[in-house]
Amino acid sequence: MSELLDDLVAEQNYLDEAVRDTPEERWNAPSPAGGWLMRDCIAHLAEMDEMAAEIAELGAYPERERREGDGVVTARQLDGRAMSIPELLTWWRACRARMDAALRPLDMRDRLPWAGNTMSVRSFATARLMEAWSHGLDALDAARVEPVDSDRLQNIAHIGYATREFAYRNRGLEPNTESLRVELAAPSGASWEWGPADSANRVTGTAGDFCRVVTQRISYLDTALEYTAGAAEEFLQVAQAFAGPPGEGRPPQNQG
């Protein structure tokens, strides 16, 4: 658990260092997340880390006054738009430090509420890491900073594979129960595998491509992933590693 939380902190610190010197005009540039500015991506992380910290402290959702956003961003993201960039970064740093302090004492098998369900503390922390990375991609895109993948992606790749059944049911579909093998090359050059070695249904490629697909940051058609027809490709079409309603994903850019 401590290693996972160390990975979470490292991912947050990486993103912080990558964006902190971004010119102010870029903070107000559109991101790939529909309707969100670069600053909204960081405000979202701050808002969710703040909520996660309170849940970890209480073991339940905190009681809060309900506030409405504008239909595109939340009320807290609107608060973030009223902040200076240093104020926004200070808010985010305080929220993630509070979350880390609240999660460290917990047992990885304890359960916490999130997105209408409960999940283990380990899955809860992994979800925060996944969000820091995936929303970080959107912020970096708006900042015009090329992201650098790390082996912290192993946590995200694992949850991407493990949520295969959820991804189907979340769309009202019956899960495909055929076995699936996923073989990925880590940024360090290591090999990561999930599923039976003799499965006829296979996905192979880089961890970066796979993690971008399961977090719906890119269409699988725009990656170098190799996959067999049938169950493997079907999985890539529905994959969703994050909680909540079915994501819309990103349309393919290379359709020729």
* CATH label of the domain that carries residue 15: 1.20.120.450
At 153-162, the pLDDT tens digits run 999 999 999 9
Query: What average pLDDT does this structure show over 137-144?
Result: 98
Helix axes 121-143, 153-162, angle to 10 degrees: 120
Q: Encode burial over 170-209: b for 16+ CB neighbours within 10 A, e otherwise.
A: beeeeebeeebbbbbbbeeeeebebbeeeeebbbbbbbbb
Band of residue 256 on the pLDDT scale cut at 50, 70, 90: very low
User: Among the listed ranges 67-76, 83-92, 100-109, 215-224, which one has the minimum average pLDDT value?
Assistant: 67-76
% of residues, the chain, pLDDT over 90:
88
Q: Which of 169, 210, 206 is nearest to 186 (CA)?
A: 206
At 99-133, the pLDDT tens digits run 999 999 999 999 999 877 899 999 999 999 999 99
208-to-26, 91, 220, 227 alpha-carbon distances in Å = 25, 29, 12, 15
27-to-42, 118, 133 alpha-carbon distances in Å = 10, 34, 18
At 35-46, the pLDDT tens digits run 999 999 999 999
Task: Identify whether residues 13 and 126 lie together within a single domain.
Answer: yes
The pTM (predicted TM-score) of the whole model is 0.94
**Pairing between β-strand 181-185 and β-strand 202-206 as defined by DSSP bridges:** parallel
Inside any domain, residue 212 = yes
Task: Identify whether residues 160 and 138 lie together within a single domain.
Answer: no
Task: Identify whether residues 131 and 27 lie together within a single domain.
Answer: yes
